[in-house]
Amino acid sequence: MNPPAFSQDDIDVLGARAEAMVNALGAISAEPDRLVRLFLSPEHRRAADLVAHWMRAAGLAVSEDALGTVRGRFGTGQRLLIGSHIDTVIDAGKYDGPFGVIAGILAAGHFARGGLQLPFGIDVLAFGDEEGSRFPATLASSSACAGVFRADNLALADRDGVTLGDAIAAYGKSVADIPAAAYRHEDVAAYVEVHIEQGPVLETRNQPLGVVTAIVGQTYLNVELLGEAGHAGTVPMLLRRDALAGAAEAMLLGEELARESKGEVVATVGRIAIAPGATNVIPANVVVIFDIRSGSETARARLAESLKAGIRAIADKRHLALTITSTREVATTPCHRQVQDMLGASVRALGAEPVRLNSGAGHDGQAMAKLCPIGMLFVRCRGGVSHNPMEYASPRDLGLTIAALIGFIARFDPGKLAG
């Protein structure tokens, strides 16, 4: 199909609608003063209902799978999947995830409501578990769609001890239906996701849109140190087995190793649990989770091995018991060459230069790549800021992104996707 021509007015109208929808979803939070929307929570339910309402208004047929993923369907034949997530980190921005879902709805609605025929069908997907903010694993929703859901994850518990399996039941779904959420390879042509960049590259290059070449690989190391609780006032310093002091050394080691990699690897500890967690008690048990990422498989593995060896030495020196488990190991996920080129062509048709860049952030595409070719379109965000309430992308850039996605759909040809 010939891609439509967009005037600046058309783009501004799309951008204003998208911004209003981003704000509407951004108002659905578990807390009044910050945005928190966790997987399978009452806020997830409310957000899913709003998304379903928008999908229907866009002319899509709505269903929901066992993980709560909302699907809006248009047309028949092999599916082009367009998705992102509606869960958030704690104290989140409004754009990370929701904008991709909204862009999918508005772009699919352009064809569905316009009565335009396509030689393939579209499913818009709103996943609920991209951030991993509730359970210590992530991408459950997209893994189910890709047919790679790990049943052992059902036993993982949130901070309140509720397991994923129980949370699915409390959400009104059945774990027995998870296999039915999977698409068959032959029914799917590709998965495409629109997302804010979450980094500074596009802004620095003064370009609104980027085409992702690959999503970097990721390792999570769960490090548990076990010492001995004791009285903070009476136990002499040299007789202590302080698990938190050991964890602090481990965290500094992770930072040092990542700095030594000169930008090739990043390592972060964003979550730490301390027991018993009282001011006047020597910490007995500490769990820290290292999030290690790199575009290079070898550099990531090298850093993870050095870190594990270093933490073992720290634990020995401090007489702490230690267990290290990897709870997430995801290889670098390349985006499909032809999908990249089709996205690039639709960006160029709008008069912008499609900047090619890696994604340092994780995305549902990492799971969907197990099912089908994937591609991602990034939109610039102010200051590269994300996972932060200051996250912002201008309505003009949002409108341009949706116009590019519509152009991509018009250009998309499943027959052109070799290998």
131 binds ligand GLV (CB under 6 A): yes
By a kind-dependent CB cut-off of 5 to 8 A, residue 97 interacts, out of ligand GLV, Mn ion, none, with Mn ion
Instruction: Kindly tell me which of 110 and 380 has the beta carbon lying closer to Mn ion.
Output: 380
**Residues 180-199: x/- map of binding to Mn ion (CB under 5 A)?**
--------------------
Rounded to whole angstroms, the Cα distance separating 134 from 318 reads: 32
362 binds ligand GLV (CB under 6 A): yes
CB 401 within 8 A of CB 6: no
Residues 155-174 binding Mn ion (CB under 5 A) are none
Closest CA to 102 of 83, 116, 118, 120: 83
By a kind-dependent CB cut-off of 5 to 8 A, residue 373 interacts, out of Mn ion, ligand GLV, none, with none
Secondary structure (DSSP) of 313-358: HHHHHTT-EEEEEEEEEE--EEPPHHHHHHHHHHHHTTT---EEEE
CB of 138 to ligand GLV, least distance (A): 7
Judged by CB under 5 A, the number of residues near Mn ion is: 2
Looking at the chain, how many residues does it have?
A: 419
Which amino acid appears at position 359 of this protein? Answer: S
Residues 68-97 binding Mn ion (CB under 5 A) are 96-97
CB of 215 to ligand GLV, least distance (A): 9
String of b and e for 215-239 (b: at least 16 CB within 10 Å)? bbbbbbbbbbbbbbbbeeeeeeeee
Judged by CB under 6 A, the number of residues near ligand GLV is: 3
Mapping DSSP onto H, E and C, the string for 5-73 reads CCCHHHHHHHHHHHHHHHHHHHCCCCCCCCCCCCCCCHHHHHHHHHHHHHHHHCCCEEEECCCCCEEEE
Rounded to whole angstroms, the Cα distance separating 287 from 366 reads: 26
Residue showing tokens 């575009």: 295
CB of 130 to Mn ion, least distance (A): 5
CB of 193 to Mn ion, least distance (A): 9
Closest CA to 188 of 369, 391, 399: 369
Q: Which of 181, 253, 361, 376 binds ligand GLV (CB under 6 A)?
A: 361
CB of 310 to ligand GLV, least distance (A): 24
CB of 131 to ligand GLV, least distance (A): 5
Residue sitting closest to ligand GLV (CB): 362
Residues 222-281 binding ligand GLV (CB under 6 A) are none
Give contact residues for Mn ion (rule: CB under 5 A).
96-97
Give contact residues for ligand GLV (rule: CB under 6 A).
131, 361-362
